[in-house]
Amino acid sequence: MALPAPPDVEALIRATDRWFLRRGIPHFIDRYRAGHDVFTRTLPVLALVVLLEVLGAANLAWRWWQNALAVVAGGAVLVGAWAGVNRLRGRSGLARPDHVGPVELAAFVLLPPLLPLLFGAQAGSAVATAAANAALLGVIYLVTSYGLVPLTRWALGQTVRQIGAVLDLFGRALPLLLLFSVALFVNTEVWQVSAALDGVLFWITMAFFGLVGLLFLLVRLPAELASLRTELTPDALVDACDGTPVGPVAAAVVASGAAEPVPLGRRQQGNVLLVLLFSQAVQVLLVTVTVAGFFFVFGLIAIRPEVVDAWLGGSIGPGELASWTWFGHDVVVTRALVHVAGFLGVVSGFYFTICVITDATYRAEFFTEVVAEVRQSLAVRTVYLALVGGSGAEGRLGE
């Protein structure tokens, strides 16, 4: 059966492209390629970087006029080298690239480092310039290709929406955790251990819990994604598309038989997993910060300075960060209090990470909404691909 003919399919497709981008899943866009959609769009930025790197021809040991001449000569060298590259490719010498591919990227990495080598034999500067350019390309690819900027905006919106959920969390889902954490908070050994984690050791300990939680999510989330794709029956697919750009035509497309599920490519799957990871990270961060803030305030009020001094063997003095008098009582902010509050916050976030995937109550409260948004994205993708030509176009997406 033929696809329905909506009033303006091209406008619908463009609106869906923008919808995917706002959701932080640009790899769902048809024929999304790094050369055209990522590096080509950042060509002005790359050109500006090259322009600034012409200064690499200068040498601090030279006089100003020598540096001026070197910079001018360096610019001429880069222009000449680029003209040579263009001529070898059968293009006019000063042609602006309309597509940034491997040749253009190699020129960006390798040509600017020639300047410090030619002017003053500055080998160290040349290596540093090449490494910096390669790293910049990597950052640009990750940020632009995976839509990290719109994904961050989406995650911030999630943060605002999740504040109410976190308040509900403390009302219903975490009372036992708080009781357990309070028991740890008034434990002498916990204060002694936390106070002994000075400087980088404290942050390494916090990062350890974060890394383990991240690895757990990376192991479990692919299975969650696989189960989502099996849930998109025709009726569920139409319902999921409601309120999206393809919502008005979803039922007709499904009825035509053209909305066939298309497997996710490697980059597309990574893009969706990144969205799931961001969503969970927002929730975990809110839980961590809220619990840490709770214990910080509780410690200021309930854990008196003399108690902390006794627990730490009289070492409160060097660890005192601030103090003031409140209603006739001394209030002291100690390094140990900050460390204990942070430690219990991170442990609570780690506990929440595990439970939100494995515990039915936590899943119903805090994972269902995230899963529903990803399911909606997968449903929209199915209808979208039917509109743009289906599997023939999709075969290039995973390349």
Residue 70 token pair: 């070197």
Residues composing the chain: 399
Q: How many angstroms separate the CA atoms of 73 and 79, rounded?
A: 10
Q: What is the pLDDT of residues 310-349, one digit of tens each?
A: 777 765 445 666 767 766 766 778 888 888 888 888 988 8
Average pLDDT over residues 183-202: 81
Average pLDDT over residues 191-211: 85
Name the helix (H) or strand (E) containing 323. Answer: strand 320-326
Q: How many angstroms separate the CA atoms of 313 and 302, rounded?
A: 19
Q: Which range has the top average pLDDT, 23-32, 315-324, 333-342, 365-374?
A: 333-342
Question: What integer pLDDT is reported at residue 393 of this predicted model?
Answer: 37
DSSP H helical segments within the chain, as ranges? Answer: 9-22, 34, 43-53, 64-88, 102-110, 114-118, 123-140, 148-168, 175-185, 188-196, 200-230, 234-240, 247-255, 266-302, 305-311, 335-358, 360-362, 368-388, 391-394
pLDDT band at 7 (very low <50, low <70, confident <90, very high): low
What is the percentage of the chain residues whose pLDDT exceeds 90? 1
Question: What integer pLDDT is reported at residue 392 of this predicted model?
Answer: 37
Average pLDDT value for the chain: 75
Question: What integer pLDDT is reported at residue 399 of this predicted model?
Answer: 34
Please say if the pLDDT value at position 184 is more than 70.
Answer: yes
What b/e readout covers 188-206, taking b as 16+ CB neighbours within 10 angstroms?
eebbeebbebeeeebeebb
CB atoms within 10 A of CB 36: 14
More confident site: 102 or 155: 102
Question: What integer pLDDT is reported at residue 272 of this predicted model?
Answer: 83
Q: What is the pLDDT of residues 55-79, one digit of tens each?
A: 766 666 677 777 777 778 777 877 7
Contact 111, 82 (CB under 8 A): yes
Please say if the pLDDT value at position 26 is more than 60.
Answer: yes
Q: Which range has the top average pLDDT, 57-61, 97-101, 142-146, 275-279?
A: 275-279
More confident site: 268 or 7: 268
More confident site: 363 or 22: 22
CB atoms within 10 A of CB 207: 13
Question: What integer pLDDT is reported at residue 49 of this predicted model?
Answer: 80
Cα-based distances in Å from 96 to 69, 92, 100? 26, 9, 10
Q: What is the pLDDT of residues 117-155, one digit of tens each?
A: 677 667 777 788 888 888 888 887 777 766 666 666 766
Residue ranges per structural domain of the chain: 25-145, 149-394
Question: What integer pLDDT is reported at residue 208 of this predicted model?
Answer: 92
What is the percentage of the chain residues whose pLDDT exceeds 70? 73
Question: What integer pLDDT is reported at residue 166 of this predicted model?
Answer: 59
